Amino acid sequence: MKTSLHFTVRGDETLMKLRAAHRWPALQPAFQQACASCHATCGDCHVSKAKSVRGGLMDGHSFLRVGPMEEACGTCHGGRVFPEYTGKNEGFPADVHWEKGRMHCAACHSVTQLHGDGTAYPDRHAVASKATCLGCHPNARAEGSSVEQHAVHRDRINCVVCHATVYRGCENCHVGAGAKSALQFKIGRSARPDAPYTYTLLRHVPTVRGMWDAKVADAMPGYDAVPTWKDTVPHNIQRKTPRTASCNNCHGNARIFLKPGDLNPTEAAANARVVVTTIPPRR
Amino acid sequence: MLRQMRAPVAVLALAVVVGLAGAVPAAENSTAWEAAAAYVSSLPEGFNGIKGEVLKAKLEAGEQIFVLDVRQPSEFAAGHIEGALNVPVRSVPAALDKLPADKNAPIVVVCASAVRSGYVAMALAFKGYTNVKHLAAGYVAGWQKAGYPAVK
pLDDT at B113 over 90: yes
For chain A, percent helix, then strand, then coil, each to nearest 5? 35, 10, 50
Are A253 and B64 within 8 A, CB to CB? Answer: no
Question: Quick check: A81 contacting B, CB < 8 Å?
Answer: no
Q: What percent of chain A has pLDDT over 90?
A: 65
Are B60 and A256 within 8 A, CB to CB? Answer: yes
Question: Quick check: A160 contacting B, CB < 8 Å?
Answer: no
Q: What are the residue boundaries of the structural domains of chain B, listed by start?
A: 45-144
Best CATH choice for the domain B45-144 from the list 3.50.50.60, 3.40.250.10, 3.40.50.410, 3.40.50.300: 3.40.250.10
Are B57 and A166 within 8 A, CB to CB? Answer: yes
The shortest C-alpha distance from B52 to chain A (Å) reads 10
Question: Quick check: A254 contacting B, CB < 8 Å?
Answer: no
Q: Which of A247, A241, A231 is nearest to A194 (CA)?
A: A231
Are B53 and A182 within 8 A, CB to CB? Answer: yes
pLDDT score for B97:
98
Report residue B2's pLDDT band, with 50, 70 and 90 as the boundaries: very low
Mean pLDDT of chain A: 91
Residue B123 and residue B110: Cα distance in Å, rounded? 14
Between β-strands A186-189 and A199-204, what pairing exists: parallel, antiparallel or unpaired?
antiparallel
Q: Is pLDDT larger for residue A173 or for residue A71?
A: A71
pLDDT score for B23:
55
A162 has which bridge partners?
A: none
| Minimum CA–CA partner of A187 in chain B | B61
Name the packing angle between helices A10-20 and A24-33 (round to 10°).
Answer: 150
> Which chain B positions have a beta carbon within 8 Å of A186's beta carbon?
60
Phi/psi for A201 (5° steps) reads -90, 145
Best residue in B60, B108, B133, B148 for a mutation probing chain A (most A CBs within 10 Å)? B60
Residue B50 and residue B136: Cα distance in Å, rounded? 5
Phi/psi for A33 (5° steps) reads -70, -35
Are B62 and A186 within 8 A, CB to CB? Answer: no
| Minimum CA–CA partner of A248 in chain B | B62
Residue pair B136/B51 in contact by the 8 Å Cβ criterion: yes
pLDDT at A44 over 90: no
Query: Is the ipTM here above 0.90?
Result: no
pLDDT tens per residue, range A89-148: 988 999 999 999 999 999 999 999 999 999 999 999 999 999 999 999 988 887 778 888
Name the residue facing B53 among A183, A246, A249 (closest C-beta): A183
Q: What percent of chain A has pLDDT over 70?
A: 98
| Chains A & B: contacts with CB separation below 8 Å | 47
Residue A85 and residue A97: Cα distance in Å, rounded? 8
Task: Give the count of alpha carbons within 13 A of A198, CB side only.
Answer: 6
Residue A24 and residue A13: Cα distance in Å, rounded? 10
pLDDT at B14 over 60: no
Residue pair A19/A212 in contact by the 8 Å Cβ criterion: no
Residue pair B61/A98 in contact by the 8 Å Cβ criterion: no
Contacting A residues, span 173-232, partner chain B, CB-CB under 8 Å: 182-186
CA A87 remoteness from chain centre = 17
Report residue A41's pLDDT band, with 50, 70 and 90 as the boundaries: confident
pLDDT score for A27:
95
Q: Which of A222, A235, A120 is nearest to A166 (CA)?
A: A235
Residue A199 and residue B125: Cα distance in Å, rounded? 40
Question: Quick check: A149 contacting B, CB < 8 Å?
Answer: no
Q: What is the DSSP string of A179-206?
A: -EEEEE-EEEE---TT-S-SEEEEEE--
Residue A101 and residue A111: Cα distance in Å, rounded? 20
| Minimum CA–CA partner of B53 in chain A | A183
On the 0-12 / 13-18 / 19+ scale of CB atoms within 10 A, A54 is exposed
CA distances from A120 to A9, A10, B111 (A): 11, 8, 55
B49 membership: H or E segment, kind and range: strand B49-50
Q: Quick one: DSSP state of residue A54?
A: T
Residue A25 and residue A29: Cα distance in Å, rounded? 8
Strand residue runs (E) in chain A? 167-171, 180-184, 186-189, 199-204, 229-231
pLDDT score for B25:
55
The shortest C-alpha distance from B93 to chain A (Å) reads 28
Best residue in A157, A166, A181, A229 for a mutation probing chain B (most B CBs within 10 Å)? A166
Q: Is pLDDT larger for residue A9 or for residue A25?
A: A25
Spatial neighbors of A43 by CB under 8 A, at least 6 apart, are none
Are A183 and B54 within 8 A, CB to CB? Answer: yes
Are B149 and A241 within 8 A, CB to CB? Answer: no
Name the residue facing B61 among A90, A182, A256 (closest C-beta): A256
> Which chain A positions have a beta carbon within 8 Å of B61's beta carbon?
165-166, 185, 241-243, 256
pLDDT tens per residue, range A54-85: 788 999 999 999 989 988 999 889 889 999 99
Q: What are the residue boundaries of the structural domains of chain A, listed by start?
A: 5-24+36-40+76-267
Task: Give the count of alpha carbons within 13 A of A257, CB side only.
Answer: 22
Q: Which of A22-26, A146-150, B139-143 has the lowest mean pLDDT?
A: A146-150
Report residue A201's pLDDT band, with 50, 70 and 90 as the boundaries: very high
**CA Rg, chain A, in Å?**
20
Are B62 and A250 within 8 A, CB to CB? Answer: yes
Spatial neighbors of B94 by CB under 8 A, at least 6 apart, are none
Residue pair A201/A164 in contact by the 8 Å Cβ criterion: yes
The shortest C-alpha distance from A255 to chain B (Å) reads 6
pLDDT tens per residue, range B83-109: 999 999 999 999 999 999 999 999 999
